[in-house]
Amino acid sequence: MTPAGTLLKEWQDLADGLPRAAVVAAEPPTVTAAKPLLAAQAGAAAAARGARVPVEGVFPDSPIPAGDTAITFLAGAKKLAAAGYAVYSTFNSDLLGTLKGNPDFSAVVDDPNSDLTSLGTVEFTSGTTTIIASSNNLTHLSPGQNRIRDALVLERAAEPTTEPSDDQAKQIGVAIDELDTDYATNTVTATNEDSWPDTARICIFYVPVEIT
């Protein structure tokens, strides 16, 4: 049996905050014979990770891995790097202004008029403008595109605001392209986290279309 202290540490390494709920899956005969016990064990597993949570159900499923009686699933929030960014570019000159007025990423991410292009993810050493090299999955903008004009950073309401997000966004811009002489960055708090990638912040660059 795994010690309670080990269970708690494993949860804290992966999750932000406490468990919120639990469900259990087991072979159909096991569910029939031991449903109350399985629910109690799931509750104990959550308690070992710091919280007493509702067990939403015990469900029949198959196959269960050999040697296991059941599988317990705990719901919670994924721990995110404090200075991690998902990066996008857009040719839409109105998009950043729209998001500043209504910082709802879910309202624009699937709208073709937003003209969003994912440029990957990147992470900084927290509190600095130093990119962690191993985290740099950025895509450079195509040659011939214009310089980056503006950037908007959306941050989750639950995230600390101690990160120098404006400076970090500028550093991302330097890493993927050239900045316009009038380049500017703004940071706003998102109204929700719907449709967000698994990052603490989103950075969107406005890159005007090159006219030749």
What is the rounded average pLDDT of the residues 25-50?
Answer: 89
**pLDDT over threshold 60, residue 212:** no
**pLDDT over threshold 80, residue 166:** yes
Distance, CA of 149 to CA of 169 (rounded, Å): 12
Q: What is the pLDDT of residue 6?
A: 76
Please report which residue ranges of the chain form alpha helices under DSSP H. 4-14, 28-48, 95-101, 165-176
Which residue, chain included where needed, has tokens 């919670």? Answer: 76
**pLDDT over threshold 80, residue 143:** no
Distance, CA of 71 to CA of 146 (rounded, Å): 53
What is the rounded average pLDDT of the residues 1-24?
Answer: 74
R_g of the chain computed on alpha carbons:
22
Q: What is the pLDDT of residue 13?
A: 64
**pLDDT over threshold 90, residue 78:** no
Minimum mean pLDDT range among 25-29, 40-44, 157-161:
157-161
Measured over the CA atoms of residue 104, residue 16, residue 197 and residue 59, the dihedral's sign is negative
- Which residue has better confidence, 206 or 142? 206
* Portion of the chain with pLDDT greater than 70, in percent: 89
pTM of the model: 0.69
- Cβ proximity of 14 and 78 under 8 Å: yes
Q: What is the pLDDT of residue 54?
A: 87
Rounded to whole angstroms, what are the CA distances from 157 to 6, 100, 140, 200? 30, 15, 29, 10
**pLDDT over threshold 70, residue 160:** no
What is the per-residue pLDDT across 171-209, written as a single tens digit (0 to 9) for each? 999 999 889 888 999 999 999 888 888 888 999 999 987
**pLDDT over threshold 80, residue 83:** yes
Rounded to whole angstroms, what are the CA distances from 67 to 14, 24, 63, 149, 206? 25, 16, 11, 58, 54
Render the burial of 122-143: b for 16+ CB within 10 Å, e for the rest.
bbbeeeebebeeebeebeebee
What is the per-residue pLDDT across 51-66, written as a single tens digit (0 to 9) for each? 888 888 899 998 888 8
**pLDDT over threshold 80, residue 124:** yes
